[in-house]
Structure 1
Amino acid sequence: MIRSLAQEREHNGRTLAPSGTLPSGKGRLGRLGPALAGTAAGLFVFVLYVRTLAPTVLYYDDPDMLDAVMLQMQVAVLGITHPTGYPTYLTLTHFFTYLPVGDVAYRVNLASAAYAALAVGVVFGAGYLLSRRVVAAAVAAVAFGLGGAIWSQAVIAEVYTMNALFIALTLVCLLLWRDRERDRYLLLAALLCGLCLTHHLTSGLLLPASLLFVGLVDRRRLLEWRLMLKCAGLFLLGLTPYLYLPIRSWMDAPMEANNPSNFERFWYVVSGGNLTGSFFAYGPAELPGRLLFYWGHLTDNINPVLVMVGLTGAALMVARDRPVGLLLGFLFLGWAFYSIENDIPDINLYFIPTYLVLCLWTAVGLGALLTEAEHLTERLPRMPQRAILVVLSVALLLIPLIGVRETSAANDMSEANLGRQQVDAIAEKAAPNATILHHRSSAWYLVLVERRRQDLTLVDPYLHNTEVEYADIVWPADLTLKETDRRYGTDDFSGVKAAKIAAQKGPVYVLDSEYIPDPKRYEAFGFEVREVEENILYKLTPAE
């Protein structure tokens, strides 16, 4: 049998509360109380997310929204994204597009808010399993949910909030397996490990971490071949969303970036494609600077006081509960190392799982603090003792709220209407059968989701991946890169060649964005540039 934490505590003289049963003591709630508190934490952040949610289709912005507008379109039409494909995100989020609120793009944004709020609720559950303190778990969960990084992703279409949710669910299942000694939780954790991997490659670290945890709790369980066979089968079952990629490609999806219809292209997509070259970008000499870079983001996302409490909680976990301490430590160090060694524009978003782990440590540290406060005040009369503990609890609950207005303002996308303005400008002001030069823009949403202006030709000559046969750069053609280059001139990343070829066939426009150089620069290449919609759409006419 698995040795429970209560037995370990009795054996080793630990001061952690037993995990298998609710401890007796003052100021603790029954089973319904924690469930209500976790729900309240999730609803609280969900309301804040919805108040700051992007209201419609988004736009390209470097580095904050590199993929958001493309994801909105790809979710809506069940297309195929850039590496790593994100099949689980596409299929689950597609259900949100049927909600009777807002436009389709808004519903995809809303999915991110829902995933983030659910993640906060599950983080509360994990924090409560570790600390057995409602207040400690609530502080940790809300601190995670109000972090700038997770909030920024909860108000737009992105994959990171679902990643946080899956990670938290996997950890809760592992903790419940250890505490309740029921294999069904371990089997569910195995399924989630596979599912996590189909969503974000960094979550693959959960598999070795889970095996480490099981071995530390009771290594004999790893030798039970029937149990391990079931776990392996469920892990493989969790990988089945990958089948979406080739199947949807064979169905001729409206948007199939990188077209994973054979094994070579499939592996390119699911293994990270061109993103793999960004790992190990920094040498040992640059490590101190990268650590400071991470520390700056960490303290911007989580109150420094809670960071210190979290680090204390980490030390307590390693000293008092080695299996969980090493599980969380392995994940934290692995994700932190991968992130600080990676050189992509939005790498700060890869830090989010480390914030989640730190918040779980924070729950442990705060739980220990509350326990110590109870011990220090136990000789006081009942009423003064309760008053002191209530005041302390309220003070702790207020810590995550420090700076919440500033974080809300920094991540408020409720007035982000540029994407809608781009769509309307193209739809209303582009001439029939025109060519639009753009980069990963809302023009895709216009033709594929709203099914308007399908007379247009959309060409993205500014930046695309030359290492694979297909890429999402042209509408409506389905061509190899060589054919696309020959027909549309996309081998010239300045866009000048594409503009000259397009001008031979009809009207040509440039949709301005963060990445595209100033459209006025085309004047130096023999074009007359006229602003059709201020700072949005420009018409290029060859000078006579």
Structure 2
Amino acid sequence: MALIPKHPRDPSVSLVAYALAIGVPFAAYLATASPHAYWLDSGELAGAAVALDIAHPPGHPLAALVGHLFTFVPLGPLALRVALAQALCGAIAAGFLFRAIDTTVRAMEVRHDRLSIPIALGATWSVACSYAWWFQSVRPEVYALQALLLAIAIERIVALEAAWPTHDVRPLSVAALALGLALANHHFMAVMALPAIAPTLARVYRARGARSLVVALGALAAGLAAYVYLPVRSSTDPPVDLGHPTDLSRFFWVVSARAYQHTNVLEDAGPIERAMDVMIAIVETVHPLLLVLALAGLWALLRAPGARRLGWVWAAIVLFACLGRTWLGHTAGNPDALGYLLPAFMGIAALAAAFVGALMAQLGGGSARAPRAMLTVLALVTAALGLAQLDQSRAHASLATFHATDDFDDRRIRALPPRAVVIAHLPQTVFRHWELAQTEHARPDVTLVPIPFLGYPGVVDHLVERDPSLRELLSGYLVDGELRQPYLQSLAASRPLLIEMDVRVPRALYETIVPGPGFYEVVDGGATDADVRGGAARRAASLESLARALGPRQDDPETRNQLLWAHYVDALYYAQVGVLERARESVTRALALQPEALELRALSERLAGADGETPIDVSDFTVGLPE
């Protein structure tokens, strides 16, 4: 017997409820989006959407296509338009989540719209207006789009399970199409959703035979066909072509994300500690009361024989999303890590709503039936509590006043000397150059050497083809595994050569580089003490100007990381070359950003005890790369 008896609902009520589920979050996202792409890989994804590039593995073809569609919207800068694509995806995902939760609540025998709709709205808003969901929807990314595709698949599976037994299994085909598209956007998250859907597939196969599954697999393949974009676009020589997937082996290399496989082995934490990190991230995102209600909701669903099917769908979504992020290793403070947990937040909200629905059903039935007005008030209070999440998350999630990337770009890109070659070590620096090249057509005269991506198939060949003067430098790097002074000085003799200071810069090169406003400059004849001190003064003035431009936005976590890393590598360089006064200044600025950093405190103590301008061996203070 179906969990929800068939009876007509007032279409106007359903439409208003659906509009509220989507409209409230969308208004918040729209009001807090930034015209400047955020840090992390937002710059790369914005550029990929504008120019239809091949982004980092697995290529994210669907995100590029959806983002490109929004570049035709005549509203603000291109980066903002790409962010609006994610805002709309995140809002519509909230709409499908609302429908799935509403179905779940009604499956708990809550038959009146005046009760089920406010409960479902409150649960939906509690996660759609949380920082984790909101922040994915105000920047160029892939997670809001992934939330939409998974929400569609889950909603269709929930609808099918709630109507079972039924001859209409078309929701399964829609869910399969959405899952196929999800696999073409972020396949790891899509795979983690499969256990929630598997029992439904088995049930349909037993009741309807193989034909229904064949149709569903066809819909899945149709969604996966979005990957055809990669070889087709790569064959046209796009500006950024990571992996160059024009043949089968390179296509598999990109789609399988082989570059990132087994990176979880680098995590020091064990599985229990990783699981605790994921739980902390969840507790910091959703109210602890919601977690308690979710556990109670799972218990309520499992007690009802028919509703157990829905209980499995939601519990599996939560469990496997958390297991997947645990296996990868959670990165505290990284919003991308929270993006992986969006399905878990969906499940938590639905389970919590199921308990509220079960409670309402108990209060509304039996001999001690609660007054109708009291039940309605309780349902409205549930909606209001979900809506209150707006105020709690707004300050943290808003990018309305964000301009930090633009401030950095002024110094690292727009102010570069003509015909410069920039050797960039950090992925985020590379992404910023790629984004401005596509969105502003900025500095086409500048050649970027993206060190983190030189090992990707086709990248070096692509660079040498566009700028043959790099052949000797890149060949030497591939042979030696690091930058060598003769190749750098040879290139610096013919054009400005700038290098991003980093722990991967061999200390033997310090004698040929001097600090500059945005990057360090390679001096073809070697750097003198006067060169170093003059460059240090110019760099200090540039960083002070940058701090003034950033203003309160220095408190943004990723912006703070950028500043912290700049001051840290400056301190290493100055200490190694013996300009200890500048080294102390850099350490002081870095400690102001991260007072508890052990390496910085140890370096500060060493500098405090050093006499004169004697160089200090900094090998003991070199730590790993920033995220």
TM exceeds 0.5? Answer: yes
- Please give the secondary structure, in 2, of the residue aligned with 1:440: helix
Other-structure match for 2:397: 411
Change over 3 Å in CA distance of 1:469–1:428 after alignment to 2: closer
CA distance in structure 1 between the aligned counterparts of 2:456 and 2:434, rounded to whole angstroms: 22
Change over 3 Å in CA distance of 1:58–1:294 after alignment to 2: closer
Which amino acid is 1:149 matched to? A
Asked whether the 8 Å contact 1:460–1:474 carries over to 2, the reply is no
Q: CA deviation at 1:376?
A: 7.6
Other-structure match for 1:190: 176
CA distance in structure 2 between the aligned counterparts of 1:495 and 1:349, rounded to whole angstroms: 40
Other-structure match for 2:459: 470
- Please give the secondary structure, in 1, of the residue aligned with 2:431: coil
Asked whether the 8 Å contact 2:125–2:386 carries over to 1, the reply is yes
Change over 3 Å in CA distance of 1:429–1:526 after alignment to 2: same
Other-structure match for 2:552: none
C-alpha distance after superposition, 1:74-115 (max 9, x if no partner): 111001111111111111221011110111111111111111
Other-structure match for 1:236: 221
Q: CA deviation at 1:312?
A: 1.3
Asked whether the 8 Å contact 1:55–1:415 carries over to 2, the reply is no
- The structure 2 residue matched to 1:256, chosen from 236, 241, 251, is 241
Q: CA deviation at 1:301?
A: 1.2
Identity across aligned pairs (percent)?
24
Change over 3 Å in CA distance of 1:518–1:489 after alignment to 2: closer
C-alpha distance after superposition, 1:303-338 (max 9, x if no partner): 111111111112222332122222333332222212
Asked whether the 8 Å contact 1:52–1:155 carries over to 2, the reply is yes
Q: CA deviation at 1:464?
A: 3.2
Instruction: Report the structure number with the largest CA radius of gyration.
Output: 2
Asked whether the 8 Å contact 2:205–2:212 carries over to 1, the reply is no
CA distance in structure 1 between the aligned counterparts of 2:284 and 2:296, rounded to whole angstroms: 19
Deviates further, 145-154 or 71-80? 145-154
Once the two structures are superposed, the pairs formed by residues 10-49 of structure 1 within 5 Å of their partners are: 18=4, 20-21=6-7, 30-49=10-29
Which amino acid is 1:95 matched to? L
- The structure 2 residue matched to 1:353, chosen from 343, 346, 353, is 343
Other-structure match for 2:355: 365
Cα RMSD over matched residues? 3.3
CA distance in structure 2 between the aligned counterparts of 1:188 and 1:307, rounded to whole angstroms: 30
CA distance in structure 2 between the aligned counterparts of 1:112 and 1:156, rounded to whole angstroms: 7
Q: CA deviation at 1:274?
A: 2.1
C-alpha distance after superposition, 1:121-168 (max 9, x if no partner): 111011011112112211111011122212221111111111111011
Asked whether the 8 Å contact 1:458–1:475 carries over to 2, the reply is no
TM-score normalised by structure 2 residue count:
0.72
Q: CA deviation at 1:281?
A: 6.8
Other-structure match for 2:493: 504
Which amino acid is 1:73 matched to? G
CA distance in structure 1 between the aligned counterparts of 2:257 and 2:206, rounded to whole angstroms: 33
In structure 1, runs of 5+ residues without a counterpart are 6-17, 23-28, 60-64
Change over 3 Å in CA distance of 1:304–1:494 after alignment to 2: farther
Asked whether the 8 Å contact 1:522–1:528 carries over to 2, the reply is no
Once the two structures are superposed, the pairs formed by residues 90-489 of structure 1 within 5 Å of their partners are: 90-132=64-106, 133-180=116-163, 181=166, 182-201=168-187, 202-216=189-203, 219-221=206-208, 224-279=209-264, 286-320=270-304, 321-343=307-329, 345=331, 346=334, 347-375=337-365, 379=369, 385-402=371-388, 404-425=390-411, 428-438=414-424, 439-461=429-451, 463-464=452-453, 466=455, 468-470=457-459, 474=463, 477=466, 485-486=474-475
Other-structure match for 1:89: 63
Change over 3 Å in CA distance of 1:464–1:428 after alignment to 2: closer
C-alpha distance after superposition, 1:233-252 (max 9, x if no partner): 22111110011111111111
Change over 3 Å in CA distance of 1:113–1:274 after alignment to 2: same
Other-structure match for 2:584: none
Which amino acid is 1:296 matched to? I
CA distance in structure 2 between the aligned counterparts of 1:134 and 1:269, rounded to whole angstroms: 43
CA distance in structure 1 between the aligned counterparts of 2:56 and 2:169, rounded to whole angstroms: 37
Q: CA deviation at 1:475?
A: 8.8
Asked whether the 8 Å contact 1:99–1:107 carries over to 2, the reply is yes
CA distance in structure 2 between the aligned counterparts of 1:457 and 1:80, rounded to whole angstroms: 19
- Please give the secondary structure, in 1, of the residue aligned with 2:10: coil
Asked whether the 8 Å contact 1:436–1:509 carries over to 2, the reply is yes
Change over 3 Å in CA distance of 1:399–1:273 after alignment to 2: same
Other-structure match for 1:9: none
CA distance in structure 1 between the aligned counterparts of 2:465 and 2:402, rounded to whole angstroms: 28
Which amino acid is 1:189 matched to? A
Asked whether the 8 Å contact 2:158–2:313 carries over to 1, the reply is no
Asked whether the 8 Å contact 1:79–1:256 carries over to 2, the reply is yes
TM-score normalised by structure 1 residue count:
0.83
- Please give the secondary structure, in 2, of the residue aligned with 1:341: helix
Deviates further, 467-476 or 365-374? 467-476
CA distance in structure 2 between the aligned counterparts of 1:236 and 1:48, rounded to whole angstroms: 35
More helix by share: 2
C-alpha distance after superposition, 1:42-83 (max 9, x if no partner): 211112222221222444xxxxx2x11100101110011111
Change over 3 Å in CA distance of 1:249–1:387 after alignment to 2: same
Change over 3 Å in CA distance of 1:214–1:280 after alignment to 2: farther
CA distance in structure 2 between the aligned counterparts of 1:498 and 1:36, rounded to whole angstroms: 66
Asked whether the 8 Å contact 1:54–1:156 carries over to 2, the reply is yes
Other-structure match for 2:537: none
Change over 3 Å in CA distance of 1:364–1:272 after alignment to 2: same
CA distance in structure 1 between the aligned counterparts of 2:83 and 2:500, rounded to whole angstroms: 23
Q: CA deviation at 1:431?
A: 2.0
Asked whether the 8 Å contact 1:196–1:204 carries over to 2, the reply is no
Q: CA deviation at 1:171?
A: 1.2
Change over 3 Å in CA distance of 1:56–1:499 after alignment to 2: farther
Other-structure match for 2:547: none
Q: CA deviation at 1:417?
A: 1.5
